[in-house]
């Protein structure tokens, strides 16, 4: 692809920040979002990027975002839907807002962002959409009915949209990370970590670069014939 502009949601930490670094190093102009102010230039050590404060569940904010990008002539041809939250709770105790917030943030936001950019991709007859899911969406996790449902929904979204836009040279894929070393997994106690590692055939956690490297491959021309897939990056944790 001649144009190399990537739009990454949830860019301020963990997998999102590693995605930004990886794509920047490959020559992409990186547009990253987070709900709060964040100095992306400082984090990446480059001016070849732009941070946009954005709540991906707020459709008014999402809509106005496109106007800013058109003004700067930086409409992306790669979209990575990475933003997401967890609000874990046993189902019997789960509150309505704990369900609603997770579905809105993890699934509806992907609809919002994909809808925003799909028209320009169809017009250009080129584009890549990469959704960051989770192995929890494939195998389920106790205490994560809301999170697992939201991530499982991404799989169906990915396959259906991929079928609609494949003829326009647009690919839509899903990456399902397993246990990845980020600030979201640093809270595990020694015994919990031991139990987790016992479930992983590779006997170790992954790191954000494993996810970023795959995303970069899918975004490149090397991934042009891969679409509608959910690819697990989990050290063998889930095998179907």
**Per-domain boundaries in the chain:** 5-233
Q: Which pLDDT score is estimated for 2?
A: 72
Average predicted confidence (pLDDT) for the chain: 95
Residues 74-97: tens digit of each pLDDT: 999 999 999 999 999 999 999 999
- Crossing angle between the packed helical segments 109-124 and 145-165, to the nearest 10 degrees: 10
d(CA 219, CA 26): 11
Domain 5-233 indexed as CATH 3.40.50.720: yes
Which segments of the chain have a pLDDT < 70?
1, 184-186, 240
Residues 91-140: tens digit of each pLDDT: 999 999 999 999 999 999 999 999 999 999 999 999 999 999 999 999 99
Residues assigned a catalytic role: 147
Residue 228: half-sphere exposure toward Cβ, Cα within 13 Å: 11
pTM here is: 0.95
């Amino acid at each position: 692809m001649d144009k190399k502009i990537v739009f990454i949601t949830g860019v301020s930490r963990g997998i999102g920040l590693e995605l930004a670094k990886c794509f920047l190093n490959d020559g992409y102009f990186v547009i990253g979002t987070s709900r709060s102010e964040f100095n992306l230039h400082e984090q990446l050590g480059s001016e070849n990027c732009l941070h946009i404060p954005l709540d991906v569940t707020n459709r008014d904010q999402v809509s106005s975002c496109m106007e800013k990008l058109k003004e700067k002539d930086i409409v992306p041809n790669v979209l990575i839907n990475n933003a997401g939250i967890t609000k874990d709770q046993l189902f019997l105790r789960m509150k309505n807002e704990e369900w609603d917030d997770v579905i809105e943030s993890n699934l509806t936001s992907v609809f919002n962002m994909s809808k925003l950019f799909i028209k320009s991709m169809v017009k250009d007859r080129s584009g890549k959409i990469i959704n960051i899911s989770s192995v929890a969406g494939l195998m389920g996790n106790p205490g994560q009915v809301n999170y697992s449902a939201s991530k499982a929904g991404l799989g169906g979204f990915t396959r259906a949209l991929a079928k609609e836009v494949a003829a326009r040279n647009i690919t839509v894929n899903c990456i399902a990370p397993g246990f990845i070393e980020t600030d979201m997994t640093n809270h595990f106690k020694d015994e919990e970590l031991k139990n987790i590692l016992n479930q992983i055939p590779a006997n170790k956690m992954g790191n954000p670069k494993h996810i970023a490297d795959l995303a970069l491959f899918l975004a490149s021309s090397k991934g042009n014939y891969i679409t509608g897939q959910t690819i697990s990056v989990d050290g063998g944790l889930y095998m179907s």
